[in-house]
Structure 1
Amino acid sequence: MSEPALMANLLFITHPEVIVDPTVAVEDWRLSTTGRERMTRFAASVAAQNIDTIWSSMEKKALEAATILAAKRRIDVKTDPTLGENDRSATGFLPPEEFERVADAFFAQPTRSIRGWERAIDAQHRIHAAVQRISAEGASGDIAVIAHGAVGTLLLCKLRDEPIDRTHDQPFQGHFWSATLPDLRILHGWMPIAEKT
């Protein structure tokens, strides 16, 4: 008898650490040395061994992370603009303390636009629709989606049927959660792609 086929999963992966540069548009930020190293270790990990399809946000930091993973797996990267982070262009770069206050309000008041940011409820709908489309295409192995922390948290809340709340956010950049395909049942919450060294 042949062995049963492995069930395919979705891995939602957030880009790891970036070079923060207030003079560069946030969507054009690049991965830092630490970010590249952590993504390289993830690409070689057991968690990534069954990935045969990679989708990425079009932001440079996500694309760089996806390219590292794709090089290890020897596959191409597909992109989808609707996998992008919540639209924060109304404010652009914010100093860390101010950013955290606005991000708190973004999650706490999901039906309001905080300082012109995309509403959390709208970002959640967008990322959910995108991942549903990707999941429906099917794959022989695991599907990796390389994107961003806020939308990853919003999607995690949606799939768990829980209210939007920042308590479900990743602890820091460079984490992943996984779900079964094609029904998107959550298997585990945020886990680091690799430990910090």
Structure 2
Amino acid sequence: MFGVYITHPQVKIDPAVPVPEWGLSDLGRERVRMTSEQPWVRLLGRVISSAEKKAIETAAILAEAAGVPVETDEEMGENDRSSTGFLPPDDFEKAADRFFAHPEESHLGWERAIDAQARISKAVFSILDRHDPAIPIAFVGHGGVGTLLKCRMTGAAISRSADQLPGGGNLFAFRLADRAVTCDWTPMEIWQG
């Protein structure tokens, strides 16, 4: 059976609101709704989300289609960027480049990439260790830590070149039997399972 790691799609950006409290934009919500109509979603036996609002909103739509509750895990949150709060897009991209390029360093007080990778990997692997591999499962989270998890699962070095496609709302899939990644980042609404 399969597992997927899904990143939340487009959000409503509000510099006055802490980033973990941002919700989905209308476009993001529509993309999740379209995804929820895919046949593979109804096969999901579990949907586990980061505790951040945008991830929970994504997970809730998918879980409703699958007929399962949303489970949350605080350890699945995005890399901690609270030291800077909101950064304008150009500044954010530069900071993200540095985050991936220097994984053992903290840039501007951000959580180090190696620490975020250890955290997300431990959270996901701990759940998978106790999960029945005959039951499809979805993890719903964020692009930064999702990329770090994918690097760990493929044995690749931490690199921005492994990052998801622009806009969010992408997934990578893996076999539950051996946790081998079976598809690279793909827009969630077009993945066929």
Q: Same fold, TM exceeding 0.5?
A: yes
SS at match of 2:3: strand
Most deviating of 134-143 and 171-180 = 134-143
Letter in 1 for 2:149: L
Letter in 1 for 2:90: E
* Distance in 2, Cα, partners of 1:49 & 1:104: 36
- Which consecutive unaligned segments of at least 5 residues does structure 2 have? none
Does 2:179 match 1:188? no
* Distance in 2, Cα, partners of 1:161 & 1:74: 34
Q: TM-score, with normalisation over the residues of structure 2? A: 0.94
* Distance in 2, Cα, partners of 1:87 & 1:62: 15
Q: CA deviation at 1:10?
A: 1.2
SS at match of 2:45: strand
Query: Which of 83, 94, 101 in structure 1 is aligned with 2:87?
Result: 94
Query: Which of 7, 23, 36 in structure 2 is aligned with 1:14?
Result: 7
Letter in 1 for 2:75: T
Contact 1:107/1:165 (8 A) holds in 2:
yes
Q: CA deviation at 1:164?
A: 0.5
Contact 1:16/1:174 (8 A) holds in 2:
yes
* Distance in 1, Cα, partners of 2:84 & 2:47: 31
Counterpart position of 2:172: 177
Query: Which of 149, 157, 167 in structure 1 is aligned with 2:161?
Result: 167
SS at match of 1:164: coil
Q: TM-score, with normalisation over the residues of structure 1? A: 0.93
Q: Calculate the aligned-residue CA RMSD, in Å.
A: 1.0
SS at match of 1:153: helix
Larger radius of gyration: 1
SS at match of 1:170: coil
Does 2:97 match 1:108? no
Does 2:150 match 1:150? no
Q: What percentage of aligned pairs have identical amino acids?
A: 45
* Distance in 2, Cα, partners of 1:127 & 1:17: 21
Query: Which of 117, 135, 139 in structure 2 is aligned with 1:141?
Result: 135
Counterpart position of 1:71: 64
- Which consecutive unaligned segments of at least 5 residues does structure 1 have? 1-7
